[in-house]
Amino acid sequence: MQLAFDQKVTQNFHAATRYEWLETNGLGGWASSTIIGANTRRYHGLLVAATHPPVGRMVLLSKLDETLVANGRRYELGSNQFPGAVHPTGYQYACHFERGLFPVFDYSVDTSAEGVRNNVCLRKTIAALNGENTTIILYQVTGAHAEFTLELQPLVAARDFHGLAHANDAIRREPEFDDGLFRVRPYESVPELFVKFPGASFESNPDWHFNFEYAVENFRGLDYQEDLFSYGAFRINLKSGDRFGVIISTNDPGKKDAFKLFGKEKARRRKLLTSLPVKDEITEPLALAADQFVVQRSEKLRSIIAGYHWFADWGRDTMIALPGIALATGRTGVAKKILRAFAASVSQGMLPNRFPDVGEEPEYNTVDATLWFFVAVYKYFQYTGDKKFIRDGLFPVLRDIIEWHDRGTRYNIHVADDGLLYAGEPGVQLSWMDAKVGDWVVTPRQGKAVEINALWYNALMIMSELSNVFGFEDEVNEYSERAREVEEVFTEVFWEEQNGYLYDYVDGDHRDAAIRPNQIFAISLPFPLVSGKRAKQIFSVIKEKLYTPFGLRSLAPDDSNYRPHYGGHPLSRDGAYHQGTVWSWLLGPYITALVRIEGKVGQKWAKEFIEKMVPHLSDGCIGSISEIFDAEFPHNQRGATAQAWGVAEILRSHVEDVLGIHPQLQASARDTGVKK
């Protein structure tokens, strides 16, 4: 699927800067900007390196602005926003952008002068290499009537990816340049930067460039001006048919060739597509998008970055995203490495909420990440039939988790007398609706939350199912009986009889009647708690109050706490995060529930719902799915521009529910030989 824009968009600065591209390197780092190369975020850069994969991320090289020199005149192809002005206005030469396996940029510049005709057509392709902090930029002169000179000016930030650079005297001003290799360590605390540009000369001219403005940061109510440092400019003479490659890296590229590296990365991405169960205009781009979130935690372990550009790997997001990112795409080996990594991190019966940046311990302030782990393990079993790994490596961990929840673990997470799971204490947010500003928990859900208990029921059912597979007969009976008890009390506790839906959470005598999407999991998880007429009633309420083409609202519009738009300073944004804002990932369970309730007719409707989402692949971060959207039309995309569980759940529901490629059918054809 080619996602492309012509000059009607690329030569309109304000139109073009709403579209972004993203290249990731499998370590947690990336290259990213807008489709005309004008950075609009502090997180944009040509080399954002993960110094302690998948975290410790630093924006090293912010930009590499190009200038054509012909007939004594200069034609700057770059574009930057400064206070009150855009300079240079190189977007006027941008004639085409497309995103296939890689982002590709085309420029057309008429450099004719004094009767000498010369129209230069230049193509640029950018690739981040998997497994290393390296970005490749390939240039090809697709047309030129006469020779010209190309200048490349590196603009260096050399800072933490959350920060902004400002002019200072501490930066090292003198780089090394020899035989086409530029190298410099701007500060002692950052990695060395290498830029290999074979055949080029370099003219040193160290100086600060001031007041670059980032519009998205301004919208987010944050500091948005930055100074960048230039060491000078590379120059090379070119003619029609010439091509050359630039390697930007934290490691000395030595004798490596940019085109050979690019060819290897291209082959890797093509191979990803060959393992897909089906190839169409939805699965292929989403499979490529899914690959961008898979990162290394060590040589043998993998994880999933929750979203770009500021998230790390969160336990909850990883477990929810795993089936779509790794299983529906045929990458079961990756799924196994992820499950092994998180199983090793369980503490007091809990998965970490997130792995923080360098030097900090994992945080365990979550109740649902642990329960989603059960679902991820079960889905892995359905797709692979890998009994040995689950029995020996995961089942003891799952058993220990249940025991910890029975006796109680952190944050008052414990099984109540009625068999339901209680979680929370004042001032703590433990569910996925976790926005908090200072001491203000925006959506306090202390008590028995509806989706938490749907997940708890599924955990018990999954333990019963797996116990049966492994021949643990006593445990089969124990877990199935406990699940039956949860099923009996669940409806009594959560059913709102008057309007036909489920309370969001219950704490003592308080029953929270806010209409939220959390109740969808009672009818969408592998083992539904509600079926028949009541399931249809729940789905009807969700459809009427919460459904949008981009996902489900987090709160019904007729609620007094409803916020229709997301934006502004952090307090405003966090206050709206789960108070109406649309979440793309919820489209997955919505479609699963629809197909489960309506069968073949639901499958047809689900196909239409996903097709309504397809145009979003050409919006925001091209080829990916945004984290959130405004609750009201036109549902502008907000938050992280590429989100793992949004990509994953839409991909999973498309493969499993719309196309009907069921994982249990795949698992039934495999047996790893483990005896009961």
Kindly list the averaged pLDDT for each block of 10 residues, start to end, along the chain of length 676.
89 97 98 98 98 95 96 94 97 97 97 79 98 98 94 98 97 95 97 96 96 96 96 96 97 97 98 90 95 92 95 95 97 96 95 74 92 98 96 98 97 97 93 88 94 98 97 95 97 96 97 98 98 97 97 97 90 91 98 96 95 92 96 93 98 96 62 39
Q: Do residues 126 and 65 share a domain? A: yes
What are the C-alpha distances in Å from 23 to residues 30, 44, 90, 128, 311? 5, 11, 22, 5, 15
Domain boundary among 348, 374, 400: 374
DSSP-derived letter for residue 657 is: I
Give the three-state DSSP class for 171: coil
Specify whether 289 is located in the same domain as 222: no
> Taking a C-beta distance cutoff of 8 angstroms, is the pair 172, 234 a contact?
no
**130 plus 202 within the same structural domain:** yes
> Per the domain annotation, does 212 fall within a domain?
yes
- For helices 644-653 and 315-322, angle between their N-to-C axes, nearest 10 degrees: 20
Cβ(181)–Cβ(192) under 8 Å? no
Number of domains comprising the chain: 3
The backbone region for 164, taken as left when phi is positive above 0, alpha when psi lies in -120 to 50, beta otherwise, is beta
In whole angstroms, what is the distance from residue 447 CA to residue 434 CA? 14
Pair 76, 124 in one domain: yes
Q: What is the DSSP letter of 631?
A: S
DSSP 184-211: E-SSTTS--EEEE-TT-EEEEEEEEEEE
* Nearest C-alpha neighbor of 315 from the set 289, 288, 342: 342
Cα–Cα distances in angstroms (integers) from residue 473 to residues 87, 469, 485, in the given order: 72, 9, 19
Output the pTM of the full model: 0.95
Q: How many residues does the chain have?
A: 676
Sheet of 637-638, strand order: 547-548, 551-553, 582-583, 628-629, 637-638
Asked if 241 and 370 sit in the same domain, the reply is no
The 3-state DSSP class for residue 479 equals helix
Dihedral of alpha carbons 189, 195, 196, 198, sign: negative
Distance between CA 352 and CA 360 in Å, rounded? 12
Decide which of 267, 299, 331 is a domain's last residue: 267
DSSP string, 490-557: HHHHHEETTTTEE-SEEETTEEE----GGGGHHHHSSS-S--HHHHHHHHHHHHHHTEETTEEESS-T
313 and 262 in a common domain: no
Angstrom distance (rounded) from CA 161 to CA 58: 5
Q: For the domain that residue 13 is a member of, what is the CATH number?
A: 2.70.98
Judge whether 425 lies within some domain: no
What is the token pair recorded at 317? 């997001």
Rounded to whole angstroms, the Cα distance separating 308 from 23 reads: 10
Domain that holds residue 57: 3-267
C-alpha distances in Å from residue 311, one per residue of 79, 290, 304, 305, 582: 27, 15, 10, 7, 19
Residue 518 in any domain: the answer is no
> Which of 218, 245, 267 corresponds to the end of one domain?
267
- Structure token pair of residue 492: 């009594």
End-to-end CA distance of the chain: 46
> Whole-angstrom Cα distance, residue 534 to residue 522?
11
CA 657 to chain centre: 22
Within-domain flag for 507: no
Q: What is the DSSP letter of 220?
A: T
Classify the phi-psi angles of 560: left when phi > 0, otherwise alpha if psi is within -120 to 50, otherwise beta: alpha
Q: What is the pLDDT of residue 639?
A: 93
Stated as kind and residue range, the H or E segment containing 320 is helix 315-322
- Quick check: is 119 in a domain? yes
pLDDT of residue 672: 37
Q: How many CB atoms lie within 10 A of CB 285?
A: 25
Spell out a b/e string for 231-240, using b for 16 or more CB atoms within 10 Å of the CB, else e. bbbbbbebee
d(CA 486, CA 340): 29
Residues 183 and 41 in one domain: yes
Q: 234 and 101, same structural domain?
A: yes
For 118-276, where are the E strands, in sequence order? 119-128, 134-143, 148-160, 176-178, 181-184, 193-196, 201-213, 225-238, 243-249
Two structure tokens written together for 420:
């339901």
Is the CB of residue 457 less than 8 Å from the CB of residue 483? yes
Same domain, 233 and 332: no
Q: Which DSSP letter does residue 392 get?
A: I
Asked if residue 453 is part of any domain, the answer here is no
Domain assignment present for residue 464? The answer is no
On whether both 107 and 138 belong to a single domain, the answer is yes
559 part of a folded domain? yes
Same domain membership, residue 109 and residue 248: yes
Say if residue 200 is in the same domain as residue 293: no
What residues pair up with 181 in beta bridges, in sequence order? 178, 196
